[in-house]
Structure 1
Amino acid sequence: MSLAAQAVAPIYDQLIAERGDLPAIAARTAERTRREAAEILDFSSLGAALGAADAAADTGDDGDSEDDGDLATGH
């Protein structure tokens, strides 16, 4: 360890003792925020729902069990 590093370490240690390890607290908060944002912005389940809707559209099933009949004539 250099002389400069030895001189700075006691000051840093004193600041940590007085105010807490702010860089470590900030890093933990940033990681927690990143995980929460990733969970909120997870659209992977949306892909499955869209796939099911596409499959229903391909079969002509609109999810309505009633017979729609001819929309132009209403019969």
Structure 2
Amino acid sequence: MLALCAPAARAQVDPTVVAQGQVLSGMMRGHAERDRKAQLSGKRPTQRPLTPAEQRLAHRREVEAAMRRPPAPRGSIR
């Protein structure tokens, strides 16, 4: 099994191909291509990661919403 993987491990990968998402395999490759095409066409805005302050605010909102919710009935998984 290891002998089958060795030639693939030695293959040189072009960084531009990696950036285009063509090295990914299967479903993830499809997702990467879809996202890249949508980003190029401007249909889907790129989502930037949340700053720590935004993460804290989002968590606080979730906690407050959970506190407003009535308690779960006995034996419920929540």
- The question of a shared fold, defined as TM-score above 0.5 by the shorter chain, is answered with no
TM-score by length of 2: 0.25
User: Greater relative contact order: 1 or 2 (C-alpha under 8 angstroms, separation 6 or more)?
Assistant: 2
Return the TM-score normalized by structure 1. Answer: 0.25
Per residue, is there more helix in 1 or in 2? 1
Structure with higher Rg: it is: 1
